[in-house]
Amino acid sequence: MDIIETELPGVLILEPRAFADERGYFMETWQQQRYAEAGIAGDFVQDNLVRSGKGVLRGLHAQHPHAQGKLVQALKGEVFDVAVDIRQGSATFGEWTGVLLSEDNHRQLWIPAGFAHGYVVLSEDSLFSYKCTDYWNGQTEFSIIWNDPEIAVDWPESDVLLSPKDANAPLLKDIPASRLPPCA
């Protein structure tokens, strides 16, 4: 497995090895010891699978308390995936990194707890997988508007389909400090 560090400390791009032949391919998507050696030692407690069509943008989502570390990947199709540092006191607060995840490149993105997460679907259809280190908690979950000008994510799609919650989300600067996670 190849590991690529991003501009944001702790956010990692993982490239598991895929063994392909005329039948298709085989790939390990999680192996506790190997991932722990890469710095991903969290206990995963919940897996999620999301199907979405082209132009669907989900995010930017976070939880505090009960912040979730997420190991994400596109099982079908192609998405542009984003992590935003929202940890109070972090040297990279408000900064983002993005990566193309697809069924063809087999890449995964590790997003540590304390980061907001979102993605936009670039293909006609997608299946997107999350492994989470904490349970979803609707009372502590919140959204940040996807096109916050201070974060300035360079989304490859501008004509997006959003949920009402995401379409009406506040700017990062308008979220009370008590809702944001601290920098560990």
Does residue 109 lie within any of the structural domains? yes
CATH number at residue 152: 2.60.120.10
In a domain, 134, yes or no: yes
- Does 88 map to a domain? yes
The domain of 89 spans 2-17+36-172
Over the stretch 110-157, which tens digit does the pLDDT of each residue have?
Answer: 999 999 999 999 999 999 999 999 999 999 999 999 999 999 999 999
Determine whether 130 is an active site residue: yes
Of 66, 117, 130, 135, which one is the catalytic site residue? 130
pTM over 0.85: yes
Domain assignment of residue 91, yes or no:
yes
Element (H, E) at 165: helix 164-167
104, with CB counted inside 10 A (0-12, 13-18, 19+), is exposed
* Cβ–Cβ under 8 Å, residues 123 and 37: no
Residue 8: inside a domain, yes or no?
A: yes
| 157 inside domain | yes
CA distance 161 to 28: 32
How many domains are there within the chain? 1
Residue 54 neighbours by CB under 8 Å, 6+ apart: 121, 122, 123, 124, 125
For residue 89, give both structure tokens: 């006191």
Residue 61 annotated in active site: yes
**Which one is catalytic: 35, 61, 64, 106?**
61
pLDDT tens for the chain, 184 residues: list them.
Answer: 999 999 999 999 999 888 889 998 888 888 888 898 888 977 899 999 999 999 999 999 999 999 999 999 999 999 999 999 999 999 999 999 999 999 999 999 999 999 999 999 999 999 999 999 999 999 999 999 999 999 999 999 999 999 999 999 999 999 999 999 998 7
